[in-house]
């Protein structure tokens, strides 16, 4: 029987334990810029997928994702032991680490939104200087005399 609420609670606890262990107890320099973002646990509580991101050392530096993945692979046993001790469940879930794609997708969406805003600004600038092709008010009004349209100017034929 699958208990989704229990799986979510366990995933949250695993996220906390792994993030804390990486930050304070695991002394691998390859994990210095790793951030744990999420965790998903299967319904039977036997497998956990831990999502992580890697930040660069500086603003313009590319993060070394391969080194971080190698560091996480090397620390998986120690991290699983910490999860087992910290959760108290009968069977400690296996840990699988996956690079989180959400930051990259967010960055791509931000770039798309910036391009859309720039295009909107160009359209607004063109509309600001534009003039209507016909009369300012091309519709007939009930109060206008028979031969006149909109602004009171006579109909040109």
pLDDT band at 4 (very low <50, low <70, confident <90, very high): confident
Distance CA 54, CA 58 (A): 12
Is the pLDDT reported for residue 118 higher than 90?
A: yes
pLDDT band at 106 (very low <50, low <70, confident <90, very high): confident
Q: Quickly list H helices, 27-134.
A: 65-87, 102-128
Q: List pLDDT tens digits, range 24-58.
A: 999 989 898 899 999 999 989 999 999 999 987 76
Residue bearing tokens 């391009």: 115
């Amino acid at each position: 029987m699958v208990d989704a609420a229990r799986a979510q609670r366990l995933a949250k606890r695993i996220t906390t334990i792994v993030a804390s262990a990486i930050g304070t107890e695991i002394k691998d320099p390859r994990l210095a810029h790793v951030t744990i973002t999420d965790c998903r646990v299967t319904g039977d509580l036997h497998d956990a997928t831990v999502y992580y991101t890697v930040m660069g050392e500086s603003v313009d530096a590319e993060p070394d994702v391969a080194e971080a993945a190698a560091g996480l692979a090397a620390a998986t046993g120690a991290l699983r032991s910490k999860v087992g001790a910290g959760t108290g469940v009968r069977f400690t879930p296996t840990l699988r680490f996956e690079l989180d794609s959400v930051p990259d997708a967010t960055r791509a969406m931000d770039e798309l939104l910036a391009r859309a805003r720039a295009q909107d600004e160009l359209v607004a600038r063109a509309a600001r200087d534009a003039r209507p092709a016909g009369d300012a008010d091309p519709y007939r009004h009930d109060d206008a005399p028979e031969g006149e349209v909109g602004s009171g100017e006579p109909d040109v034929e």
